[in-house]
Amino acid sequence: MKRLARLIDYRTAADGPPPNRLWPFMAWSTRGSWTMIALAALTSGMAGFFDMVATVVLGWVIDAAVAGDPDTFIADHLWLMLLGIGFFVFIRPITFWASSLIQTLIIQPNMLNMIALRLNRWALGHSIEFFDNDFAGRISQKILQTSSAVTNVIIEFLHAIVFAAASLIGAVFIVGSLSTPMVVSVGLWIVAYIAIIRFYIPRIRGKSKAHADARSVLVGQIVDTIANVKTLKLFAHDDREDQAVVQSMEGYFNRAVDRAKPMVSFRIMLMLLGGILPVALVGFGIQGWMNGTSSVGEIATAGAIALRLSQMTGWVSFTIMGIYTNIGEAEDGMRTL
């Protein structure tokens, strides 16, 4: 395991100074780990696709059970049973294991160290005036906050966005083979989902920048107060120091509330949208069954896909909010450092 964890060398020097634009900055921060990121994206995509394939296998088993004879079911459908066991016990778990191994063991610990080390090296190259004009605690907080934010963006993108995109592609192919109205429903649902994200995410991102800055000011205030406690004990007044900390906390509280408002509205809209899809797919599945064009297994497949996508709506939306919150923090740190 330790050898695998060393596949990325976090001590690799950066390629020049950090860019002052977000996406080039992200590339600068993660250079040296791109091969592992690509491999993680591949395994995460396979895991997402196999998650949808599982619904097809479930539908095959149900159709076989409905049409089969209980006395001879195992003998008649032994190949299907072996396929299902092999898929659920070996193929699907191995894919998820590989995805988790690359993301959790190889990428995450190395990337955080790599970005923090690069930013620390860059910050140490600044003049004394740079450090005189800011809180030492705020600067150190920005280094760690930015490193954590960029790492979280990469990990959550691989863990959730790539997984969800592969699941959606698999779902479209599967429901497309079942019914035209079903695939149209999924298509319209995806369009509505993207529209909601495009409306809310820029607003959340802007609020996240202000929230990150307010948090770093608060941390800087507290750290510098403790770091200079001897001087404060000699020359300062406790009431004034307490008032300064409370003022920083009030600023952080206001920015946190400002950010929470669009986040709550965003989650509510996505939950409403997530409830529409199961109704549509199962409804069209039942209609096809009544018309003789769909089987019971296909209804089960459509229902399982709808429920899976509906559940994904919640955690993917939360992940997207987290990603854009981290992007806002990374952008704020990039401009500060």
The pLDDT tens digits for 233-284 are 666 566 676 777 777 787 788 888 888 888 888 888 888 888 888 888 888 8
Q: Among 114-123, 201-210, 225-234, whose mean pLDDT is lowest? A: 225-234
Q: How crowded is residue 164: how many other Cβ atoms within 10 Å of its Cβ?
A: 21
What are the CA-CA distances from residue 39 to residues 105, 162, 272 (Å)? 13, 12, 35
**pLDDT, position 331:** 82
pLDDT tens-digit series, residues 22-38: 888 988 988 888 899 99
Domain assignment present for residue 175? The answer is: yes
C-alpha span between 143 and 124 (Å, rounded): 11
pLDDT confidence band for 44 (50 / 70 / 90): very high
Computed on alpha carbons and rounded to an integer, the radius of gyration of the chain in Å comes to 26
Residue 309, pLDDT above cutoff 90: no
Residue 133, pLDDT above cutoff 80: no
- Yes or no: say if 106 and 8 are a contact pair by the CB < 8 Å rule: yes
- Yes or no: say if 280 and 179 are a contact pair by the CB < 8 Å rule: no
pLDDT tens-digit series, residues 60-114: 888 888 887 787 888 888 898 899 899 999 999 999 999 999 998 999 888 889 9
Residue 137, pLDDT above cutoff 70: no
Domain assignment present for residue 221? The answer is: yes
Q: Is 127 exposed, middle or buried (0-12, 13-18, 19+ CB in 10 A)?
A: exposed
Q: Is 121 exposed, middle or buried (0-12, 13-18, 19+ CB in 10 A)?
A: exposed
Q: What is the DSSP string of 238-259?
A: HHHHHHHHHHHHHHHHHHHHHH
Domain assignment present for residue 212? The answer is: yes
Domain assignment present for residue 245? The answer is: yes
Residue 46, pLDDT above cutoff 90: yes
Residue 227, pLDDT above cutoff 70: no
C-alpha span between 77 and 296 (Å, rounded): 17
Q: Give the whole-number percent of the chain exceeding pLDDT 90.
A: 14
Residue 332, pLDDT above cutoff 70: yes
Domain assignment present for residue 139? The answer is: yes
Q: Among 82-86, 218-222, 293-297, whose mean pLDDT is lowest? A: 218-222
What are the CA-CA distances from residue 11 to residues 35, 105, 115, 116, 138 (Å)? 16, 17, 9, 10, 24
Amino acid of residue 162: V
Domain assignment present for residue 113? The answer is: yes
C-alpha span between 18 and 29 (Å, rounded): 8
**pLDDT, position 38:** 93
* CA 86 to chain CA centroid, nearest Å: 29
Q: What is the mean pLDDT of the chain?
A: 83
- Yes or no: say if 218 and 249 are a contact pair by the CB < 8 Å rule: yes
Domain assignment present for residue 68? The answer is: yes
pLDDT confidence band for 9 (50 / 70 / 90): confident
The range of the structural domain enclosing residue 273 comes to 21-336
**pLDDT, position 233:** 66
pLDDT tens-digit series, residues 151-173: 999 999 998 889 989 988 998 88
* CATH number, position 203: 1.20.1560.10
| Six-digit token string for 21 | 């634009």
Q: Where are the alpha helices (DSSP H) in the chain?
A: 2-5, 22-30, 34-67, 73-76, 78-86, 92-100, 108-124, 128-132, 136-156, 163-178, 180-227, 229-235, 238-291, 296-336
C-alpha span between 293 and 34 (Å, rounded): 47
> CB under 8 Å to 273, separation ≥6 — which residues?
189, 192, 193, 196, 313
Minimal CA–CA distance to 179: which of 278, 284, 57? 284
Residue 16, pLDDT above cutoff 70: yes
Domain assignment present for residue 5? The answer is: no
Q: Say how many domains are in the chain.
A: 1
